[in-house]
Structure 1
Amino acid sequence: MSRRLPMLAMIGVLAVAGLVGGVGPAQAAPPPTADAPNADTPNAWTEVEHPRPGGADTYLHDVVVPAADDMWSVGYTFAVVGGAFEFRTYGQHCVQGVCTRANLPNREGAPATNFLYGIGAHSPTDMWTVGYSRDPGQAGITMAIRYDGSNWTIVDTPNPAGSNGSYLYSVAHLGPAEAIAVGGYEDSAGNVPRPLAMRWDGAAWSLLAVPAVPGCTTRATLYDVAAVGSSTFMAGTCRDVGGADAGFVLSRSAVGRWKIQVAPGDGVLPTPSTLQSLSFVPGSGVWAVGTSNNFALQTAAGISIRLAAGTWSPVPVPQVGTSTQLLAVAGIARNAVWSVGITATGAFAERLSLYWNGRRYVNVAAGDYSNLKGVAYDPAGFWWSVGHDLGDSVIQKIPVP
């Protein structure tokens, strides 16, 4: 759902139930595989212990697996320091099931305000993570941090001229000289959210001109980007002519040609709708997930769509609890796709994981509080998911069925 973006970060930290959409994974697509074994009920998710900093809440938003048994996840910490809120970059690196804190840098402030939302990998020694930082009393500015196999280093990123705040939520890392990051910025005329995209050419980041989406009037933000061959697909949410939230999908070719894939009013998505995540699934095309909120009834239904043979079509999503919200999607075959997020039973928020077995989504228990924000495949024979349990980061794994 569209919203003031700085408030999103605060809600993600302070909301007790966590019923606010996050940002899904942006990772290199796994190599094509044959159909995975068909299983209606995969084995249960297992919690993975990981070191958390003392005296701080911890939140994980995205996950990537650049090699077998080599998982990285990123997010941020929250603590009260000297009576002020402080947010710092936070990450976990899990190798063969043993997790350690990632040594991620921060832009220092008084207090520090740093958030990471997305991570993408070209190889185990070439990765990007993106988010934003903000000095007290100043607008947020984009932030990108690169990993060279030994160290994480902040790399300069541009911000739209006159912006009242700029934010990156996802990154697709196609190669050493090709990466695309997306997010949003608030313009100087009324703080209206606008879509933001930028490209890494091997030497520097530069802004991309995002095309207008037919049917979108205001308040547009890009939440996820995924590599599809040498192209990239981007998912976002805007306001339509009737003032309702509306999901949309864009694509950009390797030579810079844009295409509107899904737009408000084209019949692909319900009204209202938000799209939070997309991913390329070998043998099954591009999948995107999100939510259709019914604010009057205080309920939400999950949305899942896929592009196959040039046509977008809905994938039926079961209603789990009163509020089914899908925040991330990843798959390795047409009968092996995970969509994760959050649901609610009464007043309680619970993690949600749905497994597509080629015929239908199956609800797989994923623990209690509070949500899952990212999911990724591990060639070692596992799936990883990350999120948070109120103020504690969550890492889970499940064997490939």
Structure 2
Amino acid sequence: MVHWDGTTWTEIPSPAEIGAFDDVVVDARGTVWVTGWARIGSAEPAVVYQYADGAWTEHADGLEGAINGNSLTVLAPDDAWLALNPGLAHFDGTSWTVMEEFPADGSQILTGLAAVDATDVWAAGIEIAGPGPARPVAWHYDGSAWSRVPTPKVSAQVYDVTIVDGRPVVVGEGFDGDWASTPLVLTTEAGTGRPGLVQVAGPTTQAVVLTSVDADAGRLWVGGGDIDVFTGFAAYAELP
């Protein structure tokens, strides 16, 4: 992991000799959390580490057998959500509990998490059902239970989700009949009261994959690239 102080990057020694991190978040206290996988003995489980005061703390209880940590959102030291490969887990400050609502057979892989607060959390990813193409999947947490949210029946890969004015924005790549990729953007319909996600226009660009999304200072940012020629891409749209 590396840290930017506004001028230079500084490498922070990793808590694991072998592994990879897929997500990093900073909580309200300024504490850094990372997730991904690591080699621990002869196993390579999902891991979550917390970095504070120059030291790493591992939070592994309950993740035994989990394959990979894809995305993490931290609401409080005792309230965090982790998208696994597959499944979803909740952290209570001591240990992780895998949620029973989510399939454990690999048919759903969640790749993005975002939260407004403890009563408004979104998860997005893909569903793989049989020999057909992967399709977007989304879930919403209202503070007491997770509910599946309708998504367009399109062939797609989803990578990330953020919240803009209380509405989720999901990004990824869509596939046409010839498996050519196009940027994918999904969100809820404003003012309709319907909870489902709909597809909306993405950035006009040669980039075909949107791998990340975030909103700040009145702008919605997306990042990605063209995987065929290995070029990176970033763009923003002014928010109303």
- Per the TM superposition, whether the score is higher than 0.5 is yes
CA shift in 2, pair 1:229/1:121, >3 Å:
farther
The correspondence of residues 2-401 of structure 1 with structure 2, limited to 5 A, is: 42-52=6-16, 57-78=18-39, 81=42, 86-108=43-65, 114-132=67-85, 142-159=86-103, 165-188=107-130, 190-212=131-153, 218=155, 220-252=156-188, 255=193, 256=195, 258-263=197-202, 268-270=204-206, 273-283=208-218, 285-294=219-228, 299-309=229-239
Task: Give me the TM-score of the superposition, normalised by structure 1.
Answer: 0.53
The letter for the 2-side match of 1:210 is T
Q: Is the 8 A contact 1:287 1:305 kept in 2?
A: yes
Q: Which has the higher contact order (CA 8 A, sep 6+)?
A: 1
Distance 1:208 1:222 in 2: 15
Distance 2:214 2:189 in 1: 16
Distance 1:157 1:97 in 2: 37
**5+ long unaligned stretches in structure 1:** 1-40, 133-141, 311-401
Equivalent pairs counted in the alignment come to 233
The letter for the 2-side match of 1:93 is Q
Distance 1:210 1:44 in 2: 42
Distance 1:144 1:249 in 2: 23
Identity %: 21
Distance 2:149 2:100 in 1: 16
Distance 1:96 1:107 in 2: 27
The letter for the 2-side match of 1:52 is A
Distance 1:154 1:209 in 2: 23
Q: How much does 1:225 deviate?
A: 0.7
The letter for the 2-side match of 1:154 is V
Q: Is the 8 A contact 1:182 1:197 kept in 2?
A: yes
- Say which is worse superposed, 252-261 or 164-173, in terms of deviation: 252-261
**5+ long unaligned stretches in structure 2:** none
The Cα offsets for residues 278-322 of structure 1, whole Å up to 9 and x where unpaired, read as 001123x1101101133xxxx311121212156xxxxxxxxxxxx
Larger radius of gyration: 1
Q: Is the 8 A contact 2:136 2:152 kept in 1?
A: no
Q: How much does 1:96 deviate?
A: 2.9
The Cα offsets for residues 177-225 of structure 1, whole Å up to 9 and x where unpaired, read as 221111112121x24211111112222222211124xxx6x3x121111
